[in-house]
Amino acid sequence: MKGFGPADAAFRRALRDVLGSDNVLEDPADCWPYGYDNSRRQARPEAVGFATEAGQVRDVVRLCNEAHVPLVARGRGTGTTGAAVPVAGGLVLSLERMDRILELAPDDRLIVVEPGAINRAVQEAAATAGFFWPPDPSSADYCTVGGNLAHNSAGPRAVKYGTPRENTLGLRAVTGAGEPIRAGVRTTKGVVGYDLTRLIIGSEGTLAVITEATLRLTPLPEDRRAIRALYTDIGSAAAAIARVMAQPVTPSALEYIGGLGLDLVRDSPGVRVPPDARALLLIEVDGPAGCVADAARAVAAAAKGAGLLDIEVGGRGEDAADLWAARKALSPALRGLAPKKVNEDVAVPVSRLPAFVEGVDGLSARYRIPIVNFGHAGNGNIHTNLMVDPQESGQVERAERCLSDLFNLVLALGGTLSGEHGVGLEKRAFVTREIDPVTLEVMRRVKRELDPNDILNPGKVLPEPVGPA
């Protein structure tokens, strides 16, 4: 299956009938911009449709299902794994015009939104009632809730507040067979029928197209405090992470930057990192105004120990922002240094962080590729950046072998290949290393029931079966 095939003209006409001519792009030049994501991969869809309401999504999916046309649901294309790239051609169904906030119910701690709503817009709407939705990927200003749900995208706050799976009450969605389903509830407890909500979350548009989400809200904390701790080595920092996670105050962020990352930002304005520091922890606590100072003291006490070079507990506002200077300076520095960097987001159990970082250092040396580690240490979720220079002979090939070894290392440590970016195209070939063939076969059967003709985002998430299915 690739492209519209013989159904071409009739299919295009039917598509325009459902969406309206103004909501369909067919010129290849117009279609190109809807074929990329932040993985820098790109493929041209044969058409792009814009849905404005759920009934259109249902009708478009039915059209595609009948004509066996691939359909890739798309938010704003901020994903990093190629999950939104239409590698099988077909139709990209953009949900960016379905961006309404349908209901804000603060007494019930929930907000109902369309999938194209921007994360930031949801946060702003919730804030008017004193709430927030915990998932906060770094692209929150322009990524959509639908994309967040498709990838189970989290961000730094997940260490305290969880991922979309813990913060979504229910969904409306359309299966690959064009069936409109309603999963979940409007309450924080509910156990009638099977949990299709979380089955669809994280499935990267391969099981159903989300048309509405009921999100669970959390009250905005009254206050917050930032803590910055510098260590002589990763082992000391990792021990501190484990101590912080073992005491009763769960931080609202627990971010890590490794030695090479610190080298990159040492000279940036406001950063103040001494040369012997090889690991930095940025910790945030939040809560009631009367408690955050105590909470910060408890966390800072846990962060202290062997290898600590310096610890600062910030005040509010600008003072706290200062402590985050190193983290904020890092991403631009990385982009400037290695435009072709490979950004992985593996996760390992917190106790295995020292072994992980030691292992990564070994791989970096063996394959002669600088590797910058930073990320959400409280979840063991480390963004591992291979600083690949395509000009340097053989480095791309060495990077591939390095990545392969890196994944083996992560799995040997009891970790997972993706904490929050997802599989998409980037990690599809490696899924069989994490998921055994029997479990994978069960997932394939589930996929078949929700998307019998394999039209929804074909070629993603689950690897092709080996041999006869």
Residues 165-194 that bind a second copy (CB under 8 A): 165-166, 175, 179-183, 185-194
Query: In the set 347, 360, 403, 409, which binds a second copy (CB under 8 A)?
Result: 347
Give the type of residue at 207: L
Pick 203 or 364: Cβ nearer a second copy:
203
Kindly state the smallest distance separating residue 3's Cβ from a second copy, in Å.
Answer: 27
Q: Residues 376-395 vs a second copy: string with x where CB under 8 A? A: x--xxx--------------
Instruction: From 1-9, 46-54, 133-141, 423-431, give the range in contact with a second copy by CB under 8 A.
Output: 423-431
Torsion over CA: 445, 448, 450, 456 (sign): positive
Distance in Å, CB of 190 to a second copy, minimum: 4
Cβ nearer to a second copy, comparing 107 with 318: 107
Nearer to a second copy, 27 or 107 (CB): 107
Does residue 446 interact with a second copy by CB under 8 A? yes
Q: Which of 25, 84, 87, 196 binds a second copy (CB under 8 A)?
A: 196
Binding a second copy by CB under 8 A: which of 246, 317, 391, 468?
Answer: 246
| Alpha carbon distance 458, 286 (integer Å) | 42
Q: Annotate each residue in 251-290 with x if it binds a second copy (CB under 8 A) or - if it does not, as one string.
A: ------------------------------------xx-x
CB of 186 to a second copy, least distance (A): 5
Q: Please give the distance of CA 126 from its chain centroid, rounded to a whole number.
A: 21
Q: What is the 3-state secondary structure (H, E, C) of the chain?
A: CCCCHHHHHHHHHHHHHHHCHHHEECCHHHHHHHCECCCCCECCCCEEEECCCHHHHHHHHHHHHHHCCCEEEECCCCCCCCCCCCCCCCEEEECCCCCCEEEEEHHHCEEEECCCCEHHHHHHHHHCCCEECCCCCCCCCCCEHHHHHHHCCCCCCHHHHCCHHHCEEEEEEEECCCCEEEEECCCCCCCCCCCHHHHHCCCCCCCEEEEEEEEECEECCCEEEEEEEEECCHHHHHHHHHHHHHCCCCCCEEEEEEHHHHHHHCCCCCCCCCCCCCEEEEEEEEECCCCHHHHHHHHHHHHCCCCEEEEEECCCHHHHHHHCHHHHHHHHHHHHHCCCCEEEEEECCHHHHHHHHHHHHHHHHHHCCCEEEEEEHHHCEEEEEECCCCCCCCHHHHHHHHHHHHHHHHHHCCCECCCCCCCCCCCHHHHHHHCCHHHHHHHHHHHHHHCCCCCECCCCCCCCCCCCC
User: Smallest distance from the beta carbon of 205 to a second copy, in angstroms?
Assistant: 12
Count of residues that bind a second copy according to CB under 8 A: 99
Note whether 455 binds a second copy by CB under 8 A. no
Q: Does 449 bind a second copy (CB under 8 A)?
A: yes
Q: Is 252 or 395 the residue whose CB approaches a second copy more closely? A: 252
Q: Applying CB under 8 A, which part among 38-46, 260-268, 293-301, 384-392 lies near a second copy?
A: 293-301
Only segment of 101-109, 251-259, 273-281, 308-316 that touches a second copy (CB under 8 A): 101-109
Question: Other CB atoms closer than 10 Å to residue 268's CB: what's the count?
Answer: 16
Give the one residue of 438, 464, 467, 468 binding a second copy; rule: CB under 8 A. 438
Among positions 224, 225, 427, 460, the unique one binding a second copy when judged by CB under 8 A:
427
**Does 450 participate in binding a second copy (rule CB under 8 A)?**
yes
- x/- binding map, residues 104-143, to a second copy, per CB under 8 A? -xxxxxx------------------xx-------------
The one segment of 36-44, 162-170, 276-284, 398-406 that binds a second copy by CB under 8 A: 162-170
Pick the binder of a second copy from 7, 101, 125, 199 (CB under 8 A).
199
Quick check: 306 binds a second copy (CB under 8 A)?
A: no
Decide if residue 159 touches a second copy (CB under 8 A): yes
